[in-house]
Each structure stands twice: as structure tokens, then as C-alpha cells.
Amino acid sequence: MMIEEMKLQLIYRAYYPISITLSLITNILLLFIMKTTRSALLKDMQYYLLNTAICEILVSASTFLAQCRPVANKSTLAVFCYGPCKHFGPNTCFFMFALVQASVVAASFSILLSFYYRYRLLQVHVKNARSHKKTIAIFSLLPTSMLIFQLFTESDFAIVEAETRALHPNYDYTNNSLIGFSNTKGVGGTISQISISLGVYSAPFIALYYKRKINKVITSNTSIQRIPVAYCKQLINGLLLQTMVPFVVYIPPFTYVLVSQFTDHSSLYAEYLLNTLGSFTAFINPLLTFYYVLPYRRALCKRVFKYFPSVSEEGTDITTYPATTNFHRRNTATTKV
């Protein structure tokens, strides 16, 4: 085993327990605030925020259990897993790796779903709980199908190991469970990679598209009785930032894996970085939700930080505009939720 690989394993073995602990604390705290906070503005939006929180918990849990790093070869994709899953056999690690990829895309799409719902709410009043569940189920089709395609992609571990040992003889094959896809250029592997690419690369552009449409509705609205403008803009900015964080931290190493399959170039640091950055958003997104969803920020300050005098409730006011005024400043009202 190379010295660099040994050092990286020590670093990431310390990182993953910290990562899942932070993720569980922030997401469970968010679920608690969601459960105990009553706000008319979030009555239906909670379905979508809950969906995102569940996806982020799934991301952190699967990433911790797998602790894997992909290694692109000429015709195969090897995956070294050194997490708890290695004690349950390679098939368990293979499933966990597929679940990591699917859950990351599901988390990204859940944020896009919040964008879509917010836009629909400004256009039409959607208050049927069944319609929310139906919409969430439809948006779950891509990550679910991606998971299925990965599980049924050719995965002869012996072929993967033989090519990996030939190209990377100095890697650690003793303390890791080696799995992977034996034919990445086959039909199943191609469909799987296209699905992941769509989920990773398209999310920021879809988010920007809906942000533009929502801002257009807000600035030109004359039909909705009462729109909480500041709340809506804060929420949309938060959702956009949540979408852009995976774009910034996940796309570079993911692009490296795709490119390395054609160039035969490998980088140990990039291999370790891919799975790590995927789990980074699992504890960042709940913090962004607390900050940008004003009722939750107010509830957090009131219930959790009430013993800290430096944390105030300032900035949690919500400005609303009556519809007939076309949003002139002289007809505003400020409320707290």
C-alpha cells in the first residue's frame, strides 16, 4: 500500500464518523423544528422539506456504511469500500455504493421539487395532500430507476479486480472490499452513467430556470390575495444555494471519473474526494434550510438558542404585499410567523 493511500485512509476514517454525526444532528433537529412549528406559510411546503431531509439522511447513512472510492479503469469501474459494509460481503458493498449514487441524485431532485412546488403554488393553489405525494413519487422515478440499472449492470468482481491489479498494483487490496462494474461501456452501464449525469449536471440549470420564473411571478403578480414576498425570496435563494452546493463540490470529481475512463489517467486524491464531497451536503443543506426558511429560523432562535444572548430573532420578519397594490412600498405589512 502506498504511503499516500495510508494517510488518506486515516484522514477519511476520522471524517466519516464526524460527517454522519453532524448530518444526523442537523437533520433530526430540522425534523423536530418542522414537527413543532406551525406556520400557514409552510403547511404544504413541509412535505417537500421533509422529503429533502429524509434524502439527506439516506445520503449520509449510505456514505458512512460504504466509505467507497471509485477507480476508473479502461473497461471497468472498480470501487474500493472500506466502511462497515465490507464486513457483510461484496454484494452488500455493491448495493450500498449504488444507493449512495441514487440518494445523492434523489436529494438534488428533492430540492428541485421544492422549486417546482413553489412555482405551482404561486400559479395555482395546490393544497391536496395526495397531489403532493403523487408529485414526490413521480420525481422519485429517476433516482429509483438509476438504482435499479446500477444493480443490474454487469458486475463480475473477478474481472474488475484483475484489471485493477494490473493498472494499480500498489493499491491496498487487503483492507478494502473491491467491487465494481465489469463493463462500463455496455447498455446497463451507459444508461446508469447517463442517469447520474442528468441528475448531477441538469439540477443547477433547472433551479435557475424556476428561480427566474418565480421572480417574474412575484414582481408582476396581481392575482394572488396576499404574497409573503420577503419569505418567498428568502426561500428561493436558499433552495438555489442548496442546488448549487452539490454543483460546486460534486461535479468536478464526478467529471474526473467520467474523463478518466477515456484517458486512463488516475488520481488517488480525486478518487477519495468524490464520495466525500457527496456526503458534504448532507449536513450543509439543513443549516441552509434553517437560515433561509424564516419561520424555522425564528423557531430555532426561540427554542434552541434562547440561552445565547448573542443570537437574536432579528431578520425573521416577513413583509407581505396586498395584490391590488402591485407591490408598492407604501402598502406593505410586516408580520412574524
> Residues 214-234: pLDDT tens digits?
777 767 664 444 456 666 677
Instruction: Quote the pLDDT of residue 61.
Output: 94
Which DSSP state fits 84? G
pLDDT at 315: 47
User: What cell does 169 get?
Assistant: 498494483
What is the rounded CA–CA span in Å between residue 181 and residue 193? 11
- Residue 123: the pLDDT is 63
Buried b (16+ CB within 10 A) or exposed e, 62-85: bbbbbbbbbbbbeebbbbbbbbeb
The pTM of the full predicted model, rounded to 2 decimals, is: 0.79
**Structure-block grid coordinates of residue 316:** 425573521
Q: Between vectors from CA 111 to CA 273 and to CA 128, what angle results, nearest 5°?
A: 155
Counting residues of the chain whose pLDDT is more than 70, the rounded percentage is 80
SS3 285: helix
Question: Could you give the number of structural domains in the chain?
Answer: 1
In this structure, the number of other CB atoms found within 10 A of the CB of residue 35 comes to: 10
CATH number (domain holding residue 322): 1.20.1070.10
CA–CA dist 208, 254 (Å, integer) = 21
pLDDT at 120 over 50: yes
CA distance 311 to 105: 34
Q: What values do phi and psi take at 155, rounded to 5?
A: -140, 65
Has residue 176 got a pLDDT over 60?
A: yes
> CB neighbours (10 Å) of residue 144?
13
Containing 71, the helix (H) or strand (E) segment is strand 68-72
Confidence class of residue 335 from pLDDT cuts 50, 70 and 90? very low
Mean pLDDT, rounded, of the chain:
77
Higher pLDDT, 114 or 22: 22
Q: Which of 95-104, 128-137, 267-276 has the lowest mean pLDDT?
A: 128-137
What pLDDT score does 196 carry?
74
Query: C-alpha grid cell for residue 93?
Result: 458493498
Mean pLDDT of 7-13: 85
Q: DSSP letter for 170, please.
A: T
User: Which burial class, exposed, middle or buried, applies to 42 when counting CB atoms under 10 A from its CB (0-12, 13-18, 19+)?
Assistant: buried
Its domain, for residue 216, covers 3-335
- Per-residue model confidence as pLDDT tens digits over 262-302: 776 777 887 887 777 778 888 888 888 888 888 888 888 88
Number of helices (H) and strands (E) in the chain: give both, helices first: 10, 6
Distance of CA 266 to the CA centre of its chain: 26
Among candidates 48, 107, 116, which has minimal Cα distance to 281?
107
- pLDDT exceeds cutoff 90 at 206: no
Rounded to the nearest 5°, which phi and psi values hold at 73?
Answer: -105, -165
Residue 248 in contact with residue 284, Cβ under 8 Å? no
Neighbouring-strand partners of residue 318: 335
Tell me which amino acid residue 58 is.
L
Q: What is the pLDDT of residue 301?
A: 84
Predicted confidence (pLDDT) at residue 328 exceeds the cutoff of 50: no
Q: What is the average pLDDT across 136-150?
A: 84
